[in-house]
Each structure stands twice: as structure tokens, then as C-alpha cells.
A = this chain, B = another copy of it.
């Protein structure tokens, strides 16, 4: 995807090639996956500034690569000189890598192989390429959002039968399994006072009161991220007021998602909309989603981005009252030229389980 765009960047920056090393498919480089649309173990992918891109693949992985549009080169005992392999095909004076993925140990390894090569970072440029989703990605996201809605609604419908936070997480995972996808991250189920911890790790029983369900799926490499807060028992008027405060804020914020608005402004608006509860809002308002669960744009106090059409991101205002409860409502928004489209459609009116 967008290999030509990457090559343009390489030409502008006078870089001979970009080198992506997917060290493990369980901890993959999102840029490797983006450009190749594959997730492989121990494999290099090289994009020269012009000409054909190619994989360098160890024997063990080689058979996996069938019907691909890129060249594949076998990495074995006779052919394990990275610099030589590359030099045969294109100049190698300057190479770009993804510094957000390459660890210091991998870097040492690369440096040993790439003697006298200047190594530059291409991570920011890749993130910027990935921020505007293609038609194919948007179609994929619409499907992914539908599945996400189905699963979270199924949990909410069946939550009375579930006794612990961990069981609820298991239920979500099983629903993913049934739909041939998987969770995008370890789901958060935070009931009662646990809800005051934005990243609560599931502990014991599902407590009475508000219950935050924060969950997403990984569908064809792409990740969704939705949150609903339901109520188990009979809410007090204060609790209902708090819920509606967050809900109204979220709805207004989604409406303000227009081309050109700065993410910083959006975040500041969220503080105004959360009024007297704003000091209990302890994280950013949202983040881009894609191959990673946190991508550009970042919607927080230090954001520098502006919203643009074809961005897909979350809007998730929240409040966390220490030792009491938390309320978070999060949707996935696609910005189009005509305005925001909420991809996740699970109802947001306070759902009371009694």
C-alpha cells in the first residue's frame, strides 16, 4: 500500500532505500504490514527509491510467500550479506528505518550489517502516510465497526449471566473467535469503583454501579476501539446527571469534528463541555486508529494536528471519580469531506441492567 508515495518521500529526502525488518509476527512493525499487507517472522522488506521492492526471507518463512507482487530473495548461509544483497539492486549509501520499531539491539545488528551506510529515521513520514486512510481501508473499517458493534451489544445483552470481569473479557474473546477476528487489545471491563481506573486490569466480581466496557477487534490487521458504560442496579440522580454530561459532551464533540479544526481545540472544548467534572478527565480525548491502536492524530492538550478527511479516530471523553466510578463513551469516527461519520453505532442511551 502507498509504496509509490513512500518512494517519492525517499527521493525528496535523498534516501536510497527504506528497510523494514519484521522481527516477529507477534510483535510486528506496523509499517512493514502496511506496505506489504503481510505479517511475517524474521523478514526484511526493502523499498528502493525507484524500481521494484523486495523481501529478504529466511528459508523457514520462504514457503509462506506465494502469489505476491514483490520479489523475494532467500536469506541463507550462502546469501546472508545484507549489504551485498542490496548493493546488487540499488545504491545503499543512505538507508531509512523505522526508529519506533527498531530496538537498540536490532539497531546494533543492523549497523554491523550496514557498515558505512548512513541510517535515517522514516517513522514520522510513515505515520503521516498512514493517517489518511485509503478507500480499501475505509471499506475494511466499516465492516470491522459492524462486527465490533455486534460483539459489544452481545455482551451487554448477556451481561446478567456473567459474574466476573474476567469472564466478560473471555466472552468478548469468544465472540471474536466466532467471527474469525481477535481482540485489538486486552479488553477493559471496569465495574463499580474499578471504573475510576482508566486502564483497570480485570480483578474480581462484576460490581454494582457503572461498568465500563472498552473493547476493539483486529480485523484484517486493522483495529477498532469502542467504549460503552452501562449501569448495573439503580442509578442515583447524580449518577444519571454525570452520565448524561459525558454523553452530551461526546455527541457535541463528534459534531465538531470538521476538516481543519485543530485537535488541541477539540480537546480544550471537551474540558469546557465536561464543566465541573473536567478535572476528573485524566487522559486525551482521542487518537487515530489503524494498524496500531494509537496512531495519528493524537487529540490531546499537546496535539499539533488538524483534522482532515479520511482520518479515522476515536472520540472518548470520560470522567473518573476516585474510589467511586468511571464513565467513558468512545466511538470510532471517520471524517469525510461532508463531515464526521460515526462508524460504531451501538446505542449510547444509559443502559440499565437490573
CB within 8 Å of B: which residues of A?
A: 25-27, 39-41, 59-61, 63-64, 97, 99-105, 107-108, 121, 123, 166, 170, 173-174, 177-178, 180, 182, 185-186, 196-201, 282-283, 293, 322
Contact = CB atoms under 8 A, between A and B. Distances in A.
A192 to B, nearest CB: 13
For the complex, would chain A's binding face be called helix, strand, loop or mixed by DSSP majority? loop
B197 A64 contact: yes
A173 B166 contact: no
A166 B185 contact: no
A199 B60 contact: yes
B170 A173 contact: no
A199 B26 CA distance: 12
A100 B105 contact: yes
A121 B40 CA distance: 28
A27 B25 contact: no
Nearest to A107: B104
A177 B186 contact: no
A104 B105 contact: no
A103 B100 contact: yes
Nearest to A196: B63
Given A177-B170, A177-B174, A185-B26, A282 B59 contact: yes
The interface centre, meaning the residue of A99, A177, A293, A322 with most chain B CB atoms within 10 A of its CB, is: A177
Nearest to A121: B104
A147 to B, nearest CB: 14
Contact of A105 (B27, B123, B199): B123
Contacts of A196: 63
A101 B99 contact: no
A218 to B, nearest CB: 11
Contact of A283 (B60, B101, B107, B282): B60
A80 to B, nearest CB: 12
B170 A60 contact: no
Contacts of A26: 185-186, 293
Given A27-B27, A170-B177, A174-B174, A41 B104 contact: no
A196 B64 CA distance: 10
A199 B99 contact: no
Contacts of A121: 104-105
Nearest to A177: B170
A41 B199 contact: yes
Given A103-B101, A185-B26, A186-B26, A60 B177 contact: no
8 contacts: A40-B199, A41-B199, A60-B198, A63-B322, A99-B105, A105-B121, A174-B174, A177-B177
Contact of A64 (B64, B200, B293): B200
A26 B198 CA distance: 15
Nearest to A184: B26
